[in-house]
């Protein structure tokens, strides 16, 4: 995300449109995506998967060969080429804003029973579930417009070599493509019609196919799991996912902290990033200032620094094991804190008299 770039881009675009050359220019028409075709890696993948699952190998080869190679997906999966300073305040403002708060309050009101039941069954607070649903898909409003079969096949067989972890990520997406094909057959879904994110995430909670198969639950009791159209199934599935990754009921997600002024001590505490590593006693011995609740915390903590652009001082917190669990959904402290604060803000709005 580049929060500071939008106004400049808007002004530049307006200036360009005011020139005769811009009016005369014809819009560029992108060529239609080409099918992947019968490349050796695809054929071997199809044959191995068909043999393992008892499927028709020739039919699977044809299905995958017809999947479209999407250049936009290959571009989106690459890290940003230009460095922009991370900005927690700007990132937060994308999610904790009036429209999303209103949508979150309406979602909570409509699904109060399911949220309470998920909290009772899995120990995950309703506000954390509400925060994830709000950040992921704006409560089901934005679930992705890419054909998932095309997106996953592109990343499985034509992953960009320029990516710093190309081999590892391509293997991941090849495994997710197999999970997606299994999921479509298990759920009676048309793989060619399903839409999701450019990375292949699906439905209200944006589960990858493998996560759907491992963690999704039939929480509305209708006999099937439908993360595409059942917000109640999504609520239960998000709670089950977090519980499976070790959510501890009643444990705070994070605390405030004052990090030591000594640069070496500060760097040592920040080195593990979001992984809980230090006890409260170790943090205090290193010169960190902890509030009473953090001093009483029984378990490891992570010293986390979130930058606020190039000018403002960073935001620092101590993440608990539950903060770490939220990052299993998305490996980012910025994401996790946005989820937590959005859920808290929606809860506060519900508690405020009109």
**136 is a catalytic site residue:** yes
- Asked whether the beta carbons of 66 and 152 are under 8 A apart, the reply is no
Lowest-pLDDT range of 18-32, 163-177, 297-311: 18-32
End-to-end CA distance of the chain: give it in Å, rounded: 34
Which of 36, 117, 40 is CA-nearest to residue 69? 36
pLDDT, the chain, mean: 91
Q: What residue spans of 80-165 are helical by DSSP H?
A: 88-95, 98-110, 112-122, 126-137, 148-157
Which of 105, 100, 127 is CA-nearest to residue 339? 127
Q: Which of 119, 127, 136, 176 is catalytic?
A: 136
Residue reference for tokens 């509305």: 220
- Read off the pLDDT of residues 20-31 as tens digits, 9 standing for 90 and up: 333 334 445 667
Cα–Cα distance measured from residue 256 to residue 278, given in angstroms and rounded to the nearest whole number: 15
Q: Which residue has the higher pLDDT, 5 or 114?
A: 114
Report pLDDT for 310.
Answer: 77
Q: What residue spans of the chain are helical by DSSP H?
A: 5-17, 20-24, 40-53, 57-66, 71-76, 88-95, 98-110, 112-122, 126-137, 148-157, 166-187, 209-215, 231-244, 263-270, 280-285, 292-295, 321-326, 333-351
Token pair of 249 as six digits: 């009921």
Report pLDDT for 330.
Answer: 94
- Read off the pLDDT of residues 252-265 as tens digits, 9 standing for 90 and up: 999 999 999 999 99
**Number of other CB atoms surrounding residue 6 within 10 Å:** 10
- Asked whether the beta carbons of 125 and 119 are under 8 A apart, the reply is yes
């Amino acid at each position: 995300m580049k929060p500071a770039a939008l106004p400049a881009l808007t002004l530049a675009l307006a200036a360009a449109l005011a020139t005769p050359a811009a009016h005369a220019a014809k819009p560029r028409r992108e060529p239609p995506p080409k099918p992947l075709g019968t490349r050796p890696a695809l054929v071997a993948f199809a044959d191995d998967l068909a043999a393992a699952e008892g499927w028709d190998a020739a039919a699977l080869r044809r299905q995958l060969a017809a999947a479209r190679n999407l250049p936009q997906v290959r571009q989106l999966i690459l890290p940003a080429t230009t460095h922009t300073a991370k900005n927690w305040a700007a990132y937060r403002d994308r999610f904790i804003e009036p429209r999303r708060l209103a949508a979150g309050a309406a979602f909570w009101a409509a699904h109060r029973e399911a949220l309470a039941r998920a909290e009772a069954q899995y120990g995950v607070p309703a506000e954390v579930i509400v925060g994830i649903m709000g950040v992921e898909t704006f409560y089901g409003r934005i679930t992705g417009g890419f054909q998932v079969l095309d997106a996953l096949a592109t990343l499985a067989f034509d992953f960009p070599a320029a990516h710093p972890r190309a081999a590892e990520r391509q293997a991941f997406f090849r495994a997710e493509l197999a999970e997606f094909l299994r999921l479509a057959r298990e759920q009676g879904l048309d793989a060619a019609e399903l839409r999701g994110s450019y990375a292949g995430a699906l439905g209200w909670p944006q589960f990858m196919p493998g996560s759907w198969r491992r963690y999704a639950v039939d929480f509305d009791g209708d006999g099937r799991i439908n993360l595409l159209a059942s917000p109640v199934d999504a609520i239960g599935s998000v709670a089950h996912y977090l519980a499976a990754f070790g959510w501890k009921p009643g444990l705070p997600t994070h605390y405030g902290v004052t990090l030591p002024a000594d640069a070496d001590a500060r760097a040592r505490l920040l080195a593990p990033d979001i992984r809980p590593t230090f006890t409260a006693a170790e943090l205090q011995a290193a010169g960190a200032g902890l509030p009473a609740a953090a001093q009483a915390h029984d378990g490891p903590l992570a010293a986390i620094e979130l930058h606020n652009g190039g000018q403002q001082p960073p935001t620092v917190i101590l993440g608990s094991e539950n903060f770490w669990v939220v990052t299993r959904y998305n490996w980012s402290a910025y994401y996790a804190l946005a989820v937590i604060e959005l859920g808290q803000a929606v809860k506060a709005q519900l508690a405020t008299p009109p």
